[in-house]
A = this chain, B = another copy of it.
Amino acid sequence: MTAAKRANVTLKDVATAVGISQSAVSMALSDHPRISETTKEAVRAAAARLGYVPNSAGRALRAGRSTSIAVVVPNTGQHVFGHPYFMHLLVGVTAEANARDAALMVSTNPDETHGVAAYERVLRSQAASGAIIASASISDRNVNRMVEAALPVVLVGRFVHLPHAASVGIDEIAGAAAITRHLVEDHGLTRIAHISGPLDHQTAVDRYEGFRGALAASGRPCTHTLAVGDFSEESGRAAARQVLDSMTDLQAIFAANDEMAYGAMLEIRSRGLRIPEDIALAGYDDFGVSRLTTPGITTIHVPAEALGRKAADILFDLLDGTAPDPVHTVLPFDLVIRESCGPHSG
């Protein structure tokens, strides 16, 4: 009786209350046809009265798998976990997990004990029966290991070196190309800087590639430059400083995410330049705050919640053994045109 009284009601308690056996109670509660309706009635009443809740450890042990799934987000750093992307993802995963009566674990610590990442232990210990991995770093070897060990995982994002793993994502290259075309074709801007994310993140690589590809495909003489950030607002500001200093007559900045675009906005403003009159600005992600700035930032809307939902969906299928061959699911994105690139013109 230290902290909380542990008066856990078990099957046996219900059984003695009703005056039947434990196994009969178990079957009654799972609506097994071999139990009479009257008995079931009595069992259900007693269970409710006593407040019986099945013990998940017992159930998991018996079943050989738990009813939880895990979401793995990289690092312990606020940078990444604090990013709104993960919250949106979590909302989606939660919704799907709730719909399936599964519990959700969140794991962030890649800290290796005995060479096994914390989240791999979560799976191997069967605390969770499968995982959704939102780690974006190409160089994260833990992801490889889990995939190679054939653990039930679904990756969020694109992992070019893991073609056989199930994954969900959007076509980042197409997204970046779409927004670049918007700058070039709709607004006639040809001197553009890109602020990329860290290039060991596939997302950053893809967005940069989409940017360059669209410029090349535009058929116009475009000049571009690159500054590398780390997806944080501060790094966006620093990168903007760099490109504003280095490229004369810069007409537009396309940041690989909205937070870096905010940073760029601060830097542009601090130089007394106007958006979009002097410099056009575009972002990527659209997690809620882009519309709050003045002007609103034109961006690509990433359906993070839908991604989470779909990832969970695939994971559950995987666990049920009903999954199709490992697939790469690609969800659609939207180009959201606000005011930061100039008046809309097509």
Contact = CB atoms under 8 A, between A and B. Distances in A.
B82 A88 contact: yes
A18 interface: no
A114 interface: yes
A198 interface: no
A289 interface: yes
A292 B294 contact: no
A5 interface: yes
Interface string A11-28: 000000000000000000
B118 A2 contact: no
Nearest to A318: B3
Contact of A5 (B116, B150, B288): B150
A108 B98 contact: yes
Interface string A283-319: 0000011001110000000000100000000000011
A109 interface: yes
Given A94-B106, A289-B289, A61 B68 contact: no
A227 interface: no
Interface string A304-346: 0100000000000011110100000000000000000000000
A126 interface: yes
B106 A319 contact: no
Contacts of A57: 56-58, 60-61, 66, 126-127
A104 B106 contact: yes
Nearest to A289: B289
Interface stretch (A47-55, A155-163, A210-218): A47-55
A142 interface: no
Given A61-B57, A81-B87, A126-B57, A98 B109 contact: yes
A171 interface: no
A104 B119 CA distance: 11
Contacts of A8: 124, 126
Interface in A60-118: 60-61, 64, 66, 68, 76, 78, 81-82, 84, 86-88, 90-91, 94-95, 98, 103-109, 111, 114, 116, 118
A35 to B, nearest CB: 19
A95 B67 CA distance: 24
A186 to B, nearest CB: 26
A94 B81 contact: yes
Contact of A105 (B58, B68, B114): B68
Given A53-B116, A98-B118, 7 more contacts: A3-B319, A4-B151, A56-B127, A57-B58, A81-B91, A84-B87, A94-B106
